[in-house]
Chains A and B, each alone.
Chain A
Amino acid sequence: MKIAVCFKIIADYDRLSGKDWEWDECRFVDMSFVRRVFNCFDESALETVLKLSRQLENVSDTVELTALTVDDEQGDLFLKHLMAVGYDHAVRICCNNRLDLRFNPLVISHLISRYIKQEGQKLVVLGMQGGEGDNGQTGFLVAEQLGWPCIREVIDVVRAESPDCLKVFSRIDGAILKQTIKLPMVLIMGHSLNSPYLRVPTLRQKLNAKKKQLTIVSNIELGLDNDALLNKDKTLMDLYGQKPGKSCVFLEGKTAQEQAQRLYDQYLKERLS
């Protein structure tokens, strides 16, 4: 079975302070001095699929894993990392660097779906949203273009009895939905408690991965010229910082015990139950 996981690399926003959020005339924030990390939902997707592939291989299914990203050369380091942890193919779709794709999930989905069709994948897994544009649309658009069923807020996926199906666990209205779904399908990964972190490659795996080749595909090769990548529907008008409102409540009480009891009764009890 051919499985593709689409991921995005973003700046580690935890390492940006309020004063760093200054944008230039093109409304780009300079994050070049901050390390880049896997988008958290994509990281879960990547690890979940690695675990799934081991299950599938145990029942003698041939599994071929592809990690796919739309990025510039900076993405290569992450692709090599993924080759080291067990992805068979590492693909980077490169576009004209000057294009602003942050708020253009439609174009990203076209690039992804064209590659998927070309390679005959059966399962596509993506994180539910990327930190940069926070669009939350790419997965749905990919499914639409492929004409495949799509499950959102996925927290886990495991092998099903039938080789044509997978068991998918997803969150819905506070409950967990377990479905057996026939392939092909698109899964949109939410907060996974089982696989929040991507595994770390061993020294030997890292060494072996260095010998492997990355696949670089351009938008032109996927049949989309530069003009097709322009965001014609939307224009970014402005960016502005949101001032977080803060409020403070002083808990009254004669003793610390009384104050703690009030804290529990009024603020914690409901959350903990």
Chain B
Amino acid sequence: MTLTREAIVEHLKNIVGKERVITDEQVLKENSHDRYKKFETIFGVYTTPIPAAVVKLADTNQVSDVLKFLNENKINSVAKTGGTATEGGLETIVENSVVLDGSQMNQIIKIDETNMLATAQCGVNLGELEDRLREQGFTTGHSPQSKPLAHMGGLVATRSIGQFSTLYGAIEDMVIGLEAVFPNGEITRIKNVPRRSCGPDIRHVIIGNEGALCYITEVTVKIYKYFPENNEFLAWALDDMTTGFKILREVMVEGYRPSVARLYDAEDGTQHSFDQFAEDKCVLMFMAEGNEHLARATAQGIAQIVEKYDECRKIDSRLIENWFNHLNWGPEKIAEERELIRKNLHIGFTTEVSGNWDCINTIYENAIKRIREEYPHIEDLTMLGGHSSHSYQTGTNLYFVYDYDVKDCKPEEEINKYHIALNALIVEETLKAGGSMVHHHGIGKYRTPWTKQEHGSAYYILKGLKDQFDPNGIMNTGTIYPVE
């Protein structure tokens, strides 16, 4: 028998204590969405069903007890920590869902200098962990724009990536061990070892599961020595993205590992004020870091490659360093963005995809062309561009960026009229060219129409995980897996 909203709340109070079960209406509304529906929520419109409760979890045992209860009663759960998700993964689309808030599980458990490991609970803010490590001369190497707000659990759950990924890798390259709880209440720990050959790497069942398979309670990541004094910024202006991709490839294939390797098209550059020093030009930038010898050799090697290209004009590296140092989004920037949206009815979104070197330029050109030619509200767009910000030996990512004036529609219609439509064109073009539809935000709830196409025959494996670990379908319904 389905439990009523009131009964769910009552049971939850019995499990974790009444002070940990929040039912305040405003809190529930704010927990019914993430940054995906930022426009409508700024105007006080909440179209997603509001959850029955938000549970402030205290420890792993509580996670286990609560999940077991939800599983037995087939109640949908949405895992949450920092709440910075951008793809609808935190939306409570099922009536009477329960938000499992791990933000109070916020202890840094251990910094192990010998084995170069840091272990933190899911609710530890990455910025705080990073500050603590830097006091001791270390870094995680993970620095997404959301660093001031995001928590370790969410970062791992969404396979996040940071601005220094080209050197340090993405979160999946950093995670050594994990603790996670499955819907039946089973607590699992994956031990911290440098490498092993003991069957498939089961960390990857948990990393990136977006709360659709299990709840991450603890994370152990690698740490690195931190040498900010050796950072070297390099930047050039150039005519087109094609050359930029070519140079990025050469840098990667030659074996250089700058921490930052970015390529902006002219349009995207304007929103970062790059047009003030490179009007109508693309901008290619790098940061070399690490110990003195490595940083210097990396910077020199990259400069040698880029300077072979006559169209590249050197830019004062201080401009890039200053810009880069102000890239992160803290609460004040989010508040400012909300105010701007409210006053000017103007908003921006991104869609991040990836592709191998042989198709990335095709994805870039075709997606932009298709939007320009087919998108019916192109007149409302104020910006349409893109950049690459994470490169690999085999390819790179593309971050499409588009801003628009919201015209002639209700707040709740904005997302369909603009972002969903634009996102669809980009995803379709990416998949057509052989790329991946999501690079680092996670699938969330709005790219699920393409999950099967993305994985092709390998969807069998992905589906098998859901069938095995969440047979009752109570883990973040509608995320990663399309609602059948």
B382–A33 CB distance below 8 A: no
**What is the interface of chain A mostly: helix, strand, loop, or mixed?**
loop
What CA separation (Å) do A149 and B27 show in the bound complex?
51
- B309 on interface, CB distance cutoff 8 Å: no
Residues of A close to B383: CB separation below 8 A: 200, 203
B344 touches A199 (CB 8 A): yes
B403–A15 touching, CB < 8 Å: no
- 1/0 per residue, CB under 8 A from B, across A188-210: the answer is 00000011110111111000000
How close is B182's CB to chain A, nearest CB, in angstroms?
35
Which of A77, A194, A196, A203 is B276 in contact with, Cβ under 8 Å? A77
Report yes or no: A33 in contact with B318, Cβ–Cβ below 8 A.
yes
Task: Check A36 against B273 for contact (C-beta < 8 Å).
Answer: yes
CB distance A200 to B344 under 8 Å?
Answer: yes
Q: With a CB–CB cut-off of 8 A, which chain B residues contact A33?
A: 316, 318-319, 321-322
Residues of B within 8 A of A195 (CB): 343
Within 8 Å CB of B412, what residues of A? none
Hey, which chain B residues are within 8 Å of A200, CB to CB?
344, 346, 382-383, 403, 405
A202-B381, A203-B382, A203-B383 in contact; A197/B344 too (CB < 8 A)? Answer: yes
Q: Is the CB of A203 within 8 A of B378?
A: yes
Closest to B272 in A: A35
Alpha-carbon distance A237/B257, docked complex (angstroms): 50
The verdict on B112 contacting chain A, using a C-beta distance below 8 Å, is no
A203 touches B344 (CB 8 A): no
Cα A33 to Cα B378 with chains together (Å): 34
B340 at the interface (CB under 8 A from A): yes
Within 8 Å of chain A (Cβ to Cβ): is B308?
no
Q: Given A32-B316, A34-B322, A202-B381, does the pair A196, B343 have CB atoms closer than 8 Å?
A: yes
Neighbouring B residues of A197 by C-beta, 8 Å: 340, 343-344
A199: B residues at CB distance < 8 A: 344, 346, 405
Chain A residues with Cβ below 8 Å from B384 are 203
**A33-B316, A33-B322 in contact; A74/B403 too (CB < 8 A)?**
no
Given A35-B323, A202-B382, A203-B381; A77-B275 close (CB under 8 Å): yes
- Closest-CB distance, B349 to chain A (whole angstroms): 14
CB neighbours (8 Å) of B319 from chain A are: 33, 35
Residues of A within 8 A of B344 (CB): 197, 199-200
Task: Check: B279 CB closer than 8 A to any chain A CB.
Answer: yes
From 229 to 280 in chain B, residues with beta carbon under 8 angstroms from any chain A beta carbon are: 273, 275-276, 279
A197 to B343, CA, bound (A): 8
Question: B195 near A: Cβ within 8 Å?
Answer: no
Per the bound structure, the CA–CA distance linking A35 and B271 in Å amounts to: 11
Closest residue of B by beta carbon distance from A210: B280
Query: Would you call B196 an interface residue if the criterion is a C-beta within 8 Å of the partner chain's C-beta atoms?
Result: no
* Chain A 171-197 per-residue mask, 1 if CB under 8 angstroms from chain B, else 0: 000000000000000000000001111
Given contacts A196-B343, A200-B344, contact A36 B382 (CB under 8 A): no
List chain B positions with a Cβ less than 8 A from chain A.
Answer: 273, 275-276, 279, 316, 318-319, 321-323, 325-326, 339-340, 343-344, 346, 378-384, 403, 405
- Residues of A in contact with B (beta carbons under 8 Å apart): 14-15, 32-37, 74, 77, 194-197, 199-204
Q: A32-B318, A77-B275 are in contact. List 12 more A-B contacts (CB 8 A).
A: A14-B326, A33-B316, A33-B319, A33-B321, A34-B322, A77-B276, A195-B343, A197-B340, A197-B344, A202-B381, A203-B378, A203-B381
Closest 4 CB pairs of A and B: A33-B318, A35-B273, A200-B382, A33-B319
